[in-house]
Amino acid sequence: MMLQVMPQKLKLTNDRLLKALSCQNTGRPPVWLMRQAGRYMPEYRALRAKYSFLDMCHQPELVVEITQLPLTVFGMDAAILFSDILVIPEALGLGLRFEDQVGPILERPLKTPADIAALPVLDVSDSLSYVAQSIRLLKERLEVPLLGFAGAPFTIASYMIEGGSSPALKKTKQWMLRDPVSFHRLLEKIADDTIAYLNLQIDAGVDAVQLFDSWAHVLGHVQFREFSLAYLKRIVEGLKPRNVPVILFCRGASVFAKQLAEAAPAGISLDWNTDITQMRLTIPQSIALQGNIDPDLLYAPKEVIQKELDRLITGMKGDKGFILNLGHGIHPDTPVDAVKYLIDAVKRYGD
């Protein structure tokens, strides 16, 4: 019997995350942090002083260096590709830039259904080839699993309509409520481009992928099913032949987790509003649960961090599908010492 082995995967010496994602981890939980390569690290800020954020996303050598930074300094159990969810709208020609203190700006947001119809067919192997190249370089170096990622269709659509971050998503929700037909057309287009983009990442070697539905919490439960979950399902289904684990992150997962489970992802990422041990009782044992530390906890004294970790790890003891993470991205002003303490403390829970 011949097994097709991808040579770059032979280097994995730590597959704790992948074991947890198949709910077969019998040791301590794997730990990684959303946005773990970020502004809280002085090494990151030093690079950011020399390059724009977009340069850092676009240049494979920089992506490789930045992705590895937190692994070198703190030793997380997984790497996540350094990139941004908005590279898809950028590749679709909406014009992406990042402004300090403001965040992302899409210079040509969608204003009418005609703008949706005019979106180009995306050739990911052309416009997003730098991502594939970054992944290939990373896979030559990494000894831990590499996570790829993309934004979820509802979240990407909201950026494409709002033209940037806009907590109330007023334009998006008005469009959705007043013209659901064209809104669905947009979501379908993004979902299909996202499947192509994640396939590109998988071809290049990522070991798992995470979908970020960062704005889904503005939706009611009926809308969530129609405008968010349906497209998460479409992507999970679309990737199924690849047999690569998919983690679903959405803000509001404390409420929406049961619906997310219907998409049958490998894992669900939880925010900190909910008790993960209680959530475990309602989510199938075949789905890993990731979370659910409040990022603000890293402002607390070490004994408070330790107490919270004890509660969480004791509560999830014996769970083979638990991945320790924050419930949201790490804050830029997080003390480096707290991150080091957290990662070391998780490792003290043994093998």
Q: Catalytic positions, please?
A: 35, 39, 48, 84, 159
Tokens representing 144 are 């831990």
Q: Is 300 in the site for its own copies (CB under 8 A)?
A: yes
Count of residues touching its own copies (by CB under 8 A): 32
Residue among 74, 159, 183, 224 that touches its own copies (CB under 8 A): 224
CA–CA distance from 27 to each of 76, 284, 340, 347 (Å)? 15, 20, 20, 10
Q: How far is the CB of 4 from its own copies (least distance, A)?
A: 44
> Between residues 19 and 251, which has the closer beta carbon with respect to its own copies?
251
For its own copies, the closer of residues 254 and 325 by Cβ is 254
Toward its own copies, which CB reaches closer, 7 or 167? Answer: 167
| Choice between 11 and 307, CB closer to its own copies | 307
Please pick, from the candidates 1, 178, 181, 350, the single residue that binds its own copies as defined by CB under 8 A: 178
Tokens representing 42 are 């002085």
299 binds its own copies (CB under 8 A): yes
| AA letter at 136 | R
Q: Is 219 near its own copies (CB under 8 A)?
A: yes
Binding of its own copies at residue 111 (CB under 8 A)?
no
* Cβ closest to its own copies, residue 194 vs residue 290: 290
* Alpha-carbon span 93 to 278, nearest angstrom: 44
181 belongs to the binding site for its own copies (CB under 8 A): no
DSSP state of 102: T
Q: Any idea what the Cα angle at residue 230 is, between residues 228 and 234, rounded to 5°?
A: 115
Residues pairing with 323 in the sheet: 290
* CA 133/CA 64 separation, integer angstroms: 10
Among 222, 243, 282, 303, binds its own copies (CB under 8 A): 222
Q: What is the CA radius of gyration of the chain?
A: 19
- Put the strands of the sheet holding 79-80 in their side by side order: 79-80, 146-151, 208-213, 246-250, 267-269, 288-293, 322-326
Q: Does 314 bind its own copies (CB under 8 A)?
A: no
Query: Which of 176/239 has CB closer to its own copies?
Result: 176
**Long-range contacts of residues 118-125, Cβ cutoff 8 Å, at least 24 apart:** 119/92, 119/93, 119/189, 120/92, 120/93, 122/88, 122/91, 122/92, 122/193, 122/196, 122/197, 124/91, 124/193, 124/196, 124/197, 124/199, 124/200, 125/200
Of residues 9, 129, 294, 320, which one binds its own copies by CB under 8 A?
A: 294
- 217 lies in the site for its own copies, by CB under 8 A: yes
Task: Determine the Cα–Cα distance for residues 83 and 96; give it in Å rounded to an integer.
Answer: 13
Contact call for residues 242 and 202 (beta carbons, < 8 A)? yes
Query: Is residue 261 involved in binding its own copies (CB under 8 A)?
Result: no
Using CB under 8 A, which of 147, 186, 297, 323 touches its own copies?
297
Tell me if 302 contacts its own copies by CB under 8 A. Answer: no
Asked whether 74 and 343 are in contact (CB, 8 A), the reply is yes
CB of 167 to its own copies, least distance (A): 7
Helix axes 60-73, 129-141, angle to 10 degrees: 40
| HSE (side-chain half, CA atoms, 13 Å) at 251 | 14
101 binds its own copies (CB under 8 A): no
Q: Are 156 and 167 in contact (CB under 8 A)?
A: no
Nearest residue (CB) to its own copies, 35 versus 173: 173
User: Of these, 255, 261, 264, 345, which contacts its own copies (CB under 8 A)?
Assistant: 255
**Stretch touching its own copies by CB under 8 A, among 27-35, 87-95, 106-114, 299-307:** 299-307
- Any contact of residue 306 with its own copies (CB under 8 A)? no
Q: Closest separation between CB of residue 146 and its own copies, Å?
A: 30
Residue 177 makes contact with its own copies by CB under 8 A: yes
Task: Tell me which residues touch its own copies (CB under 8 A).
Answer: 167, 170, 173-174, 177-178, 217-224, 252, 254-256, 272-275, 292, 294, 296-297, 299-301, 304, 308, 311
